[in-house]
């Protein structure tokens, strides 16, 4: 066994027994590996790398007692870091879906009421008019993310020649531009005013 492998095995054993100094040494030694994967493979910003790293170290704490080959820790950390990066990107995507959703919830009493069909038609027309005002990169990204089934982030990054970590933030900016386009912004404002008047009249 190589000297470095022996050191890792000793550090893992000591950290598993509650040795705080051994744990700090493990984190200091392998933090560059974790951050390199986050930055170079997934193009995550530094703050998001910190979040991913915290998840990796928590997983390591749970895994220490059952690591069968402590010297294989670097490979375990690399695999776990990739999983945590993918989990982080998925969480970001779900959050942005909630923040930038344009779905219109139909009323429970009558899904096919004429007024609801009118609202849906107006929204569809406004979305189409706003979409054509977006720049080409935004159009391409949003079209890819609306496909069913949706391509993976890796596939989207490959098609659009962009870092995986920038897909979520870029999508959020594109949706915000879509929201601000005059056709859609006007409809949203009109519906908001209509809802306000309805509440006032009902109150």
pLDDT digits (tens, 9 = 90+) for 60-116: 888 888 888 888 899 999 999 999 998 888 887 777 666 555 444 444 445 445 556
Number of domains in the chain: 2
Average pLDDT, the chain: 79
Residue 110 and residue 193 share a domain: yes
Domain CATH number, residue 17: 1.10.1740.10
Residue 116 and residue 93 share a domain: no
Residue 119 and residue 94 share a domain: no
Q: Residue 27: exposed, middle, or buried by beta-carbon count in 10 A (0-12, 13-18, 19+)?
A: middle
Residue 91 and residue 110 share a domain: no
Contact at 8 Å (CB) between 23 and 15? yes
Residue 79 and residue 42 share a domain: yes
Residue 135 and residue 118 share a domain: yes
| pLDDT(189) > 90 | no
User: How far is Cα 199 from Cα 52, in angstroms, rounded to an integer?
Assistant: 44
Mean pLDDT of the region 124-144: 80
Q: Show the tokens assigned to 140.
A: 């391409």
Highest mean pLDDT among 9-23, 110-124, 135-149, 166-180: 9-23
Q: Which of 35, 69, 98 is at the close of a domain?
A: 98
Q: Tens digits of per-residue pLDDT, 148-164?
A: 677 888 888 888 888 88
pLDDT band at 144 (very low <50, low <70, confident <90, very high): confident
Residue 135 and residue 195 share a domain: yes
Nearest to 119 by CA among 168, 61, 188, 39: 188
Residue 92 and residue 53 share a domain: yes
Nearest 5°: phi and psi at 48?
Answer: -75, -30
Domain containing residue 14 = 3-98
Residue 77 and residue 31 share a domain: yes
Residue 174 and residue 113 share a domain: yes
pLDDT band at 126 (very low <50, low <70, confident <90, very high): confident
Q: Which of 47, 63, 98 is at the close of a domain?
A: 98
Q: Which of 56, 77, 98 is at the close of a domain?
A: 98
| pLDDT(1) > 60 | no
Residue 43 and residue 119 share a domain: no
Select the more confidently predicted residue: 111 or 192: 192
Query: What pLDDT, on the 0 to 100 scale, is given for residue 32?
Result: 94
Query: What pLDDT, on the 0 to 100 scale, is given for residue 6?
Result: 60
Query: What pLDDT, on the 0 to 100 scale, is given for residue 62?
Result: 85
CB proximity list for 151: less than 8 A, separation 6 or greater: 144, 159
Mean pLDDT of the region 175-200: 75
User: How far is Cα 55 from Cα 85, in angstroms, rounded to an integer?
Assistant: 9
As a whole number of Å, the end-to-end CA separation of the chain is 78
Contact at 8 Å (CB) between 113 and 107? yes
Residue 178 and residue 142 share a domain: yes
Domain CATH number, residue 129: 1.10.10
């Amino acid at each position: 066994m190589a000297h470095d492998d022996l050191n890792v095995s000793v550090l893992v054993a000591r950290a598993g027994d509650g040795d705080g100094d051994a744990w700090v040494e493990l984190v200091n030694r392998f933090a560059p590996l974790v951050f390199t994967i986050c930055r170079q493979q997934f193009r995550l910003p530094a703050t998001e790398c910190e979040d991913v790293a915290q998840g990796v170290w928590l997983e390591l704490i749970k895994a220490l007692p059952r690591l069968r080959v402590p010297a294989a820790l670097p490979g375990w950390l690399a695999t776990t870091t990739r999983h945590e990066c993918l989990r982080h990107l998925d969480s970001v995507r779900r959050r942005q879906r909630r923040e930038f959703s344009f779905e219109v919830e139909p009323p429970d009493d009558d899904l096919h009421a004429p007024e609801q069909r009118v609202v849906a038609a107006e929204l569809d027309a406004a979305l189409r008019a706003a979409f054509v005002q977006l720049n080409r990169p935004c159009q391409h990204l949003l079209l890819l993310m609306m496909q069913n089934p949706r391509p993976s982030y890796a596939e989207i990054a490959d098609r659009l020649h962009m870092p995986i970590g920038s897909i979520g933030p870029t999508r959020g900016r594109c949706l915000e531009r879509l929201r601000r386009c005059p056709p859609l912004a006007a409809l949203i404002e009109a519906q908001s005013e209509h809802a306000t008047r309805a509440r006032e009249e009902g109150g």
